[in-house]
Amino acid sequence: MLSSIQIQSYAKINWALDVLFKREDGYHELRSIYQTVSLHDQLLITETSGQIEIVCDDPRVPCDETNLAFKAAAALRDATHTSNGARIEIQKRIPVAAGLGGGSSNAAATLLALIKLWKLQIDERELFRIAAALGSDVPFFLIGGTALGVGRGEEVYSIEQVRCENLLLVNPGFAVSTRDAYEKLSRLTRPEPASIIPFSQLAAKGIRELPLAARNDLEAPVLAAYPEIAEVKRRLLSLGARHALMSGSGATVFGVFDNSQAAEQSETELREAGYWAERVRAVDRYEYHATLFQ
């Protein structure tokens, strides 16, 4: 009998994040290209007699019902009218509130793992609906790899997979709240057609060029408010990154390097300067699904 299950919960970056306009429901209409990367948390989920419990080795992560993995388990239980329980142990490796989607990834990983552990039959559309209700980035982590996100990011489409071996993630050690980042964005009312055109031009550059053409509408306003993040970007470029960009709502910045030596040397220098720095590579959707339950 299957009574416990391990799952890897990968981080993401954004190759593109276009914020088109603020919608009537208060959300922003986005066009995003998501990418899973090799950095991951590890979840160990064990069946219990009924209660949902969270254990986490990172004190910044709440272990109560506000934890996204808790919410995912509770939502799945409600949707399937079951009374199963689970103890979810999270080994945190993804920096928290860092623009790397750690909480959303934990939520999606919990859904995928509990479907197996609790032996549930669930319609795919229903699963995506549950994920979207948990958070805009959660549905993406059900598919992983390189994917286009539209709407508030919750409507996801797998696209041609990007290859990128030498990425360096750097975090300055403080959090930027997602809400704050959007509030800092001043160009919220620009007309939709003008924004869609550059996005399709980006797609037309071809998937190979995407890492070097990556861009993020939230970067300029967040960098203006947090010079420490601008400093991380400047350092990455001066250490030889071909391109450097803030991920999501920050504060993590990723650098795109030509080779592993340059990325490794930069990782060492940035760690010596006191930053959290981690070399990663893009994980495509095939690898994502082949390694989730390793």
Residue 152 or 233 having the CB closest to ligand ATP: 152
Residue 87 or 242 having the CB closest to ligand ATP: 87
- How far is Cα 77 from Cα 2, in angstroms, rounded to an integer? 18
> Quick one: which of 97, 131, 132, 239 contacts ligand ATP (CB under 6 A)?
97
Q: For the beta carbon of residue 32, count every other beta carbon within 10 angstroms.
A: 26
Residue 81 burial class via C-beta count within 10 angstroms: exposed 0-12, middle 13-18, buried 19 and up: exposed
Say if CB 163 and CB 282 are below 8 A apart.
yes
Say if CB 239 and CB 268 are below 8 A apart.
no
- How far is Cα 287 from Cα 265, in angstroms, rounded to an integer? 27
**Nearest residue to ligand ATP, using CB?**
103
> Quick one: which of 99, 144, 149, 172 contacts ligand ATP (CB under 6 A)?
99
When asked if residue 181 is in the footprint of ligand ATP (CB under 6 A), the reply is no
Residue 128 or 239 having the CB closest to ligand ATP: 128
57 is catalytic: no
CA of residue 196 relative to chain centroid, distance: 23
Give the range of 42-50, 98-106, 260-268, 276-284 binding ligand ATP by CB under 6 A: 98-106
Give the range of 19-27, 58-66, 158-166, 222-230 binding ligand ATP by CB under 6 A: 58-66
Tracing tokens 């980035």 back to the chain, one arrives at 137
Measure the CA angle with vertex 185, ends 184 and 186; round to 5°. Answer: 105
Say if CB 22 and CB 133 are below 8 A apart.
no
18 is catalytic: no
What is the contact mask toward ligand ATP in residues 38 to 57, using x (rule: CB under 6 A)? --------------------
Position 137, amino acid: D
Say if CB 123 and CB 68 are below 8 A apart.
no
Site for ligand ATP in 229-288 (CB under 6 A): 248-249
Nearest distance, CB of residue 153 and ligand ATP, angstroms: 9
What is the contact mask toward ligand ATP in residues 190 to 229, using x (rule: CB under 6 A)? ----------------------------------------
CA of residue 1 relative to chain centroid, distance: 33
Say if CB 35 and CB 13 are below 8 A apart.
yes
Name the active-site residue from 41, 137, 217, 284: 137
Give the range of 13-21, 66-74, 188-196, 214-222 binding ligand ATP by CB under 6 A: 66-74
> Quick one: which of 68, 86, 168, 214 contacts ligand ATP (CB under 6 A)?
68
The DSSP H or E segment spanning 33 is: strand 28-48
Q: Which residues are catalytic?
A: 12, 137
Positions touching ligand ATP (CB under 6 A) are: 61-62, 66-69, 90, 96-104, 106, 135, 137, 178, 248-249
